[in-house]
Amino acid sequence: MLVIKTVIPKHRDSCFSDIVSLALDAFLQTQMKNMIFFAGTKSMSILLSKPSAVLSDFVKQYWFIDSVVSDDARYMQRIVPSGLPELMFFQGSRPSVVESGRNLESDAVISGHHKSFFDFQITDSFSLFAVTFQPHGLRVFFDVPGSEFQNNKVPLRLLLKEEASEIEERIASETDFCGKVNWIETYLLKQLRKRSEWYEFKRLDYCLGGLIRKKGLISVEELASQAFLSRKQFERKFSDFVGTSPKLYLRIVRFQNAIHQKAVNPHLNMTELAYGCGFYDQSHMVNEFKKLSGLTPKEYFSVCEPVSDLYRVY
């Protein structure tokens, strides 16, 4: 059974749980966070929280999963590009990445933007607390080009050395979701105060806001013009802050918008969805879904609830 709760903090130092609680038996084959379950027996609880107002330009949300896997069971979890990088803290077992056949190298990892889907194999119970950043928000807190995280799951200790162990221990020591959220918010606010140069962030923030509002239906040339940069200059800045090329990110946004539009208008057929989301035709949309999720749109919507974190509004 999957249980989803939305936890809304009143401010940075307080957090209210049990505001919204939904038991969704229909989601036995699905899960939020752009994850698709293919096989296995599990019980899962998911908590979601928006950030405080001062961090909302940089952080999209916080979430927590507590997953229980039956003895000798295993299940596959497909992750598709969401357009949002994340900092993840695992407790208990860690999943293995199927295509590489190896476990994650650390309990705390930064997952950057991905070009395509990948599969987690989970064979034991675990819990996971995560910070989902805005598309360009990760760059503010870690003084590393965003492109270094593309298609990677980078151990936090490689970036923060000894400080990473303290962060992991503090997150693990907080026994409830609200405690984890409040602690990580305090830490992120301290990091934010250390930043002094905001010009480039604001430039990209403006362009990304328009890009997402227009649902990916904008050219790279127009985005570069808005930033008062040449196309090559803009592509370098975009890769530095966001971590991927503008062209790929436009594809991910259109994909995420198609998921969102299907949620808002569940009766849309595939042709209506394709043209409404700016694909050339239905065949174009099918190809994009297969590249980004490994599934056709019909297959995707048959096994996954159409929920887009990129377009989630609290």
87/134 Cα distance (integer angstroms): 12
38/98 Cα distance (integer angstroms): 13
Q: Using the 8-state DSSP alphabet, how is residue 154 labeled?
A: E
CB atoms within 10 A of CB 287: 13
133/84 Cα distance (integer angstroms): 6
66/175 Cα distance (integer angstroms): 12
77 and 122 Cβ atoms separated by less than 8 Å: yes
3-state secondary structure of 47: strand
8/5 Cα distance (integer angstroms): 10
Confidence tier at 31 by pLDDT (50, 70, 90):
very low
How much is the pLDDT for 226?
94
Sorted by where each starts, the structural domains of the chain and their CATH numbers stand as: 2-193 (2.60.120.10), 199-303 (1.10.10.60)
4 and 46 Cβ atoms separated by less than 8 Å: yes
119/158 Cα distance (integer angstroms): 24
How much is the pLDDT for 161?
87
Alpha carbon 267 to its chain's center:
26
Pairing status of strand 75-79 against strand 108-111: unpaired
Mean pLDDT of 157-174: 92
Mean pLDDT of 211-237: 95
192 and 138 Cβ atoms separated by less than 8 Å: no
Q: Is the pLDDT of residue 167 over 80?
A: yes
String of DSSP letters for 63-114: EEEEEEE-TT--EEEEE---S--EEEEEEE--PEETTTTEE-S-SEEEE---
Q: Residue 256: enclosing H or E segment and its boundaries?
A: helix 246-264
217/168 Cα distance (integer angstroms): 40
Q: Taking Cα atoms as reference points, which of 188, 210, 169, 10 lies closest to residue 87?
A: 188
How much is the pLDDT for 291?
95
Share of the chain above pLDDT 90, in %: 60
Q: Is the pLDDT of residue 312 over 60?
A: yes
**Tokens 């297969």 -> residue:** 290
The structure's pTM equals 0.83
Confidence tier at 223 by pLDDT (50, 70, 90):
very high
Report residue 36 as tokens.
């698709």
Q: Is the pLDDT of residue 4 over 50?
A: no
Confidence tier at 68 by pLDDT (50, 70, 90):
low
Q: Is the pLDDT of residue 113 over 80?
A: yes
